């Protein structure tokens, strides 16, 4: 039986309260429909700043806003905590599970799926134990715990030899997330921790960045990625290009050179994984139910109206949508969510979709490298250094959900810049493996 009794209005079920799902729900505010937004977490997480939460610059509350709060004033919207598990496309019913494993059904007239990606370990699921990814709040807090604990461990060990692996930090993946976290670890060590430790010199922290390509940030122009490479070198990040991380353990990371196949091992107690993403497990169930194949990274191919071919009542948007090789960035998800909401509003109001195909407006991408240095690439516009950094800050504040979070984040950045301290370094002792799969 369906959990919610229909109020007689067409029901839109949205899976995922990230950028795609939230913008779809908001677009439907004035539509004569009932909106049910289901998410496995309670908050809309601003993933682009997860690494700042992991490195003690921002609190988890500053980068996450409760979905219920964000949709408080939208009277036609209801938020449900649960994990979507399967779909019956004929009966138009979505089945989801609660924390305790019990399940419930949600019937729908229209379904929007914006469930996003998770970190991919390319089949090496055992890596997660020693190399957390950077996709969720749990990941960020697990990384914060590893980083804080590593410096504390080093401080309490008597010899330099014993301290070395604790002060060596390995990052797999030289895309924006890997570059950002690598730079932030060096900044944490150089600026925030130097005066607080007595036995160790945090500046000795060695940060190793491993990347399979011949340059970091391959999604940016060659000139911008070269500029990022120079800045990383200047702040002391050791970048190793053309290598894959092929093994991780509690005490070591192994890399393999792509060309020569030469293997190297580095002693380290902290390994972070940002090398690839894949669709969350629900997408496989959805593809099966809709009778379509998953494409690269487990994505689902959609038509120009963002519906799944043969299913005019099912929209797939955001990172899990495959269309024209659009990148997995927040703008694609926001514009896709808004478009899907628009189409449903048109169907309900006018009896059919508005007929206009989805057109993505590229507003560019940005990556933070270090203090006073970020990259911004938008069409013909290319910025790096200080100008890029200021633009990066303005963009991120503008897109952060919630006025309070915007103000407090801007304040935190200002205080950190002025005082060089990082106050958000409280750690918890949760279990990232359980956190990755809380709904069993
Ligand atoms: C560290 C990091 C840095 C990034 N930096 C940038 C950047 O600088 N600029 C940029 O444009 N983009 C950036 N991105 C990418 C951007 O965050 C994504 O493109 C965007 O979040 C995609 O939105 P989405 O709605 O598709 O998915 P998400 O935002 O991932 O949201 C998916 C939601 O679905 C929920 N969910 C998943 N499975 C289920 C289920 N079975 N049932 C119920 N709920 C479910 C999740 O809890 C989540 O809330 C970054 C990403 C990361 C990880």
19 alpha carbon – ligand 1 mean position (Å): 7
Q: Summarize pLDDT for 160-172 with one digit per residue, the tens.
A: 999 999 999 999 9
Least confident interval from 213-222, 243-252, 283-292, 422-431:
422-431
> What domains sit in the chain, N to C, each tagged with a CATH number?
2-119+278-350 (3.50.50.60), 125-275 (3.50.50.100)
Structure confidence at residue 27 (pLDDT): 97
Average pLDDT for residues 346-354, to the nearest whole number? Answer: 93
Among the listed ranges 270-284, 307-321, 341-355, 400-414, which one has the minimum average pLDDT value?
A: 400-414
Atom of ligand 1 nearest to the CA of 115: 34
How far does the centroid of ligand 1 lie from the alpha carbon of residue 47, in Å?
A: 6
Q: What is the mean pLDDT of residues 254-259?
A: 96
180 is catalytic: yes
Q: Which residue has the CA at smallest separation from atom 2 of ligand 1?
A: 48
Find the Cα–Cα–Cα–Cα dihedral 231, 233, 235, 236, rounded to 10°.
160
Nearest-atom number in ligand 1 for the CA of 274 is 1
Q: How confident is the model at residue 383 (pLDDT cuts 50, 70, 90)?
A: confident
Residue keyed to tokens 């911008």 = 224
Report the pocket of ligand 1 as residue ranges, CB < 6 Å: 15-21, 38-41, 47-48, 50-51, 83-84, 114-116, 134-135, 176-177, 280, 282, 318-319, 328-331, 333, 365-366
Q: What is the DSSP string of 142-165?
A: HHHHHHHHHHHHHHH-SSHHHHGG
Residues 15-19: what's their mean pLDDT? 98
**Residues 106/13, Cβ–Cβ less than 8 Å:** yes
Q: Which residues pair with 301 in a beta bridge?
A: 322
**Could you tell me which residue, 136 or 440, shows the higher pLDDT?**
136
Instruction: Kindly give the distance from the C-alpha atom of residue 45 to the centroid of ligand 1, in angstroms, as a whole number.
Output: 8
In angstroms, rounded to a whole number, what is the distance separating the alpha carbons of residues 213 and 417? Answer: 33
State the pLDDT at residue 158.
93
114-118, 161-165, 199-203, 417-421: range with lowest mean pLDDT: 417-421
Split at pLDDT 50, 70, 90, the class of 391 is confident
User: What burial class does residue 166 get, using C-beta atoms within 10 Å of its C-beta: 0-12 exposed, 13-18 middle, 19+ buried?
Assistant: buried
Tell me what pLDDT residue 204 has: 86
Ligand 1 center to 412 CA (angstroms)? 24
Tokens of 80: 């449900």
pLDDT tier for residue 407 given thresholds of 50, 70 and 90: confident
Burial of 387-408, coded b for 16+ CB within 10 Å and e otherwise, reads: ebbebbbebbeeebbbeebbeb
| Residue 362 alpha carbon to ligand 1 centre in Å | 18
Ligand 1 atom nearest residue 19's Cα:
25
User: Which residues are CB-neighbours of 147 under 8 A, at least 6 positions away?
Assistant: 54, 55, 56, 169, 185, 188, 270
What is the predicted pLDDT for the residue at 427? 85
Confidence class of residue 409 from pLDDT cuts 50, 70 and 90?
confident
Sign of CA dihedral 283, 288, 289, 291: positive
Angle between helices 330-350 and 19-27 (to 10 degrees): 30
- Percentage of residues in the chain with pLDDT exceeding 90? 74
Q: Per-residue confidence at 3, pLDDT binned at 50, 70, 90?
A: low
Pocket test for ligand 1, best of 47, 80, 98 (most atoms within 8 A of CB): 47
Mean pLDDT value of segment 301-326: 97
CA of 318 to the centre of ligand 1 (A): 8
* The pLDDT of residue 365: 86
Q: For 119-133, 227-241, 334-348, 424-438, which range has the lowest pLDDT when averaged over its residues?
A: 424-438
Looking at residue 376, its pLDDT comes to 87
Helices (H) and strands (E) in the chain, counts: 13, 26
User: Which atom of ligand 1 lies closest to the CA of 116?
Assistant: 27
At 276, list the tokens: 């690839």
Residue of minimum CA distance from atom 12 in ligand 1: 329
Whether the pLDDT of residue 433 is over 90: the answer is no
CA geometry: angle at 434 spanning 130 and 244, to 5°? 30
Catalytic residue among 34, 83, 180, 278: 180
Question: What is the overall mean pLDDT for the chain?
Answer: 92
Q: Ligand 1 atom closest to Cα of 281?
A: 41
Q: What is the pLDDT of residues 91-133, one digit of tens each?
A: 999 999 998 899 999 999 999 999 999 999 999 999 999 999 9
Asked whether the predicted pLDDT for residue 360 surpasses 60, the reply is yes
Instruction: Return the percentage of the chain with pLDDT > 70, whole number.
Output: 97
Residue from 48, 82, 282 to probe ligand 1 pocket by mutation (most atoms less than 8 Å from CB):
48
Distance from the alpha carbon of residue 328 to the mean position of ligand 1, in angstroms: 9
**H or E element in which residue 43 lies:** strand 43-45
């Amino acid at each position: 039986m369906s959990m919610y009794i229909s109020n007689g209005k067409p029901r839109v079920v949205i899976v995922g309260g990230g950028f795609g799902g939230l913008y779809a729900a908001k677009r439907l505010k004035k539509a004569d429909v009932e909106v049910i937004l289901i998410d496995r977490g309670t908050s809309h997480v601003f993933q682009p700043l997860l690494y700042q939460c992991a490195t003690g610059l921002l609190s988890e509350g500053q980068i996450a806003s409760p979905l219920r709060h964000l949709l408080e004033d939208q009277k036609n919207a209801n938020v449900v905590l649960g994990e979507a598990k399967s779909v019956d496309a004929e009966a138009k019913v979505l089945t989801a599970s609660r924390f305790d494993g019990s399940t419930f059904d949600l019937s729908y007239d229209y379904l929007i799926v914006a469930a996003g990606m998770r970190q991919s370990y390319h089949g090496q699921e055992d890596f997660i134990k020693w190399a957390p990814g950077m996709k969720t709040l749990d990941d960020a807090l697990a990384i914060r715990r590893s980083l804080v604990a590593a410096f504390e461990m080093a401080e309490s060990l008597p010899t330099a030899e014993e301290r070395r692996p604790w002060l060596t930090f390995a990052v797999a993946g030289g895309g924006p997330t890997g570059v950002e976290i690598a730079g932030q670890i060096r900044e944490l060590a150089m600026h925030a921790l130097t005066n607080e430790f007595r036995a160790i010199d945090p500046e000795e922290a060695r940060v190793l960045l491993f990347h399979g390509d011949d340059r970091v940030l391959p999604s940016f122009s060659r000139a911008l990625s070269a500029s990022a490479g120079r800045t990383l070198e200047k702040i002391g990040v050791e970048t190793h290009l053309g290598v894959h991380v092929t093994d991780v353990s509690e005490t070591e990371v192994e890399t393999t050179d792509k060309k020569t196949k030469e293997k190297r091992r580095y002693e380290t107690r902290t390994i972070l994984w940002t090398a690839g993403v894949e669709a969350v497990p629900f997408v496989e169930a959805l593809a099966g139910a809709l009778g379509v194949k998953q494409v690269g990274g487990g994505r689902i191919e959609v038509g120009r109206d963002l519906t799944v071919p043969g299913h005019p009542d099912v929209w797939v948007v955001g990172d899990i949508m495959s269309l024209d090789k659009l990148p997995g960035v927040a703008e694609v998800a926001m514009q896709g969510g808004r478009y899907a909401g628009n189409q449903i509003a048109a169907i309900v109001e006018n009896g059919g979709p508005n007929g206009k195909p989805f057109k993505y407006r590229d507003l560019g991408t940005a990556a933070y490298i270090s203090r006073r240095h970020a990259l911004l690439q938008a069409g013909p516009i290319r910025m790096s250094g200080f100008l890029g950094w200021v633009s990066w800050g303005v963009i991120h504040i503008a897109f952060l959900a919630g006025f309070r979070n915007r103000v407090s984040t801007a304040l935190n950045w200002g205080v950190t810049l002025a005082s060089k301290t990082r106050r958000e370094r409280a750690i918890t002792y949760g279990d990232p493996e359980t956190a990755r799969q809380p709904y069993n």
